[in-house]
Amino acid sequence: MYIGIPKESRPFEYRVGLSPAGVEILTHFGHQVFVEHEAGAGAGFKDQDYERAGARIAFSGQEVFGRADFLLKISRPLKQELEWLQEGAILSGFLHLASSSQDQIDLLLEKKITALAYEQITDSSGGLPVLRPFSLISGAMVAQIAARWLQTNRGGKGIMLSGVPGVPPAEVVILGGGAVGTSAARAMQSAGAHVTVLDKSMTALENIHDRLPGVVTMMATKRNIERATAYADVLVGAVLVAGQRAPVIVSREMVRAMKPRSVIIDVSIDQGGCVETSRPTMHDNPTFIEENVVHYCVPNIASLVARTASHVFLNSAIPYISEIANNGIDDVMKKDPSIEAAVNTHQGKLVNLVRLSGQEVSE
């Protein structure tokens, strides 16, 4: 199979679709891998590293997209890049198609592209094994992001997460007790903050209660969310529904009732965001102020630690990538439900995807 690894084209995306170690695994199986020039530079991988692993270096994204039977991406391709794909190709990445534009979906269907969303690969226990490592990274980074944007010179309230003797710590409220929420709670607690986690699942709350003594847990009812957001110095949105747009559970009225210059970090923004006032931002200008509250809404937080992220991605994704490359997507979809659950478009049809309107389109 011809496998393509292009350079990520979205601004401030430093990760790469596969590291040289992953390329070595695929070439060992006899596949031909094409890597775009400097595709791995942001993560510290040189073209020579890929060549030693058996790849061929291509000098344009169009060549990589056009040659690939199986294209390995991190972020969702731009429309121009989708047009370069050959008909019937396999596209993989953290695609988040539930929050994409309709013209991109239409193009995938028109070209009969099989779109595999890594964030929806689901194991037998219902976990998300490829998304989870990035979720853990994003959650762990939330504490340092919050500390920075609480600073007075950044527009925040001018308080420390940990407090000091005689001055209480910051109040941190986390919406969602999954991988991101648990990782964020651990990091915030380690930084000395007072942490509250809300979730609809008692199992998730029990898990946090047992693993992180001292973290307050609450059921995510509307009343509790209103109460918690009102006293939060930092609000972390960590809500995920696989294959769907993130539900908006924090209304503009709740944001308006928050403390002035408090901070919202909406990690759910890659799936549309769980806060009504959120909108995507980039690393060069990551925040905006709405209703007198600082909003940090960068979709690709893990890109800031691109080398770590690329290594951990290889560990979690290479079994699935190899399976598809070695056996073909049609055969794998029939035999492996974990991959079948992650396919969003196939042979001109939508599957396993709920669009922005909320209309169920899976079959």
Catalytic residues: 96, 270
Q: Please classify residue 297 by burial: count the beta carbons closer than 10 Å to its beta carbon, then call 0-12 exposed, 13-18 middle and 19+ buried.
A: buried
b/e string for 331-345 if b means 16 or more Cβ within 10 A? ebbeebebbbbbbbb
Measured at the alpha carbon of residue 11, what is the angle toward residues 183 and 303, in degrees to the nearest 5? Answer: 25
d(CA 174, CA 348): 39
Q: Interhelix angle for 179-190 vs 202-211, to 10°?
A: 30
With beta carbons less than 8 A apart as the criterion, state whether 20 and 49 touch: yes
In order, the DSSP letters of 98-113 are: GGS-HHHHHHHHHTT-
Cβ neighbors of 302 (< 8 A, separation 6 or more) are 15, 134, 137, 138, 141, 309
Our measurement of the distance from residue 84's CA atom to the centroid of its chain's CA atoms, rounded to an integer in Å, reads: 24
Q: Interhelix angle for 306-327 vs 20-28, to 10°?
A: 10
d(CA 44, CA 14): 9
Q: Which amino acid is present at 11?
A: P
Cβ neighbors of 255 (< 8 A, separation 6 or more) are 229, 264, 275, 276, 277, 290, 291, 293
Q: Which amino acid is present at 115?
A: A
d(CA 345, CA 184): 33
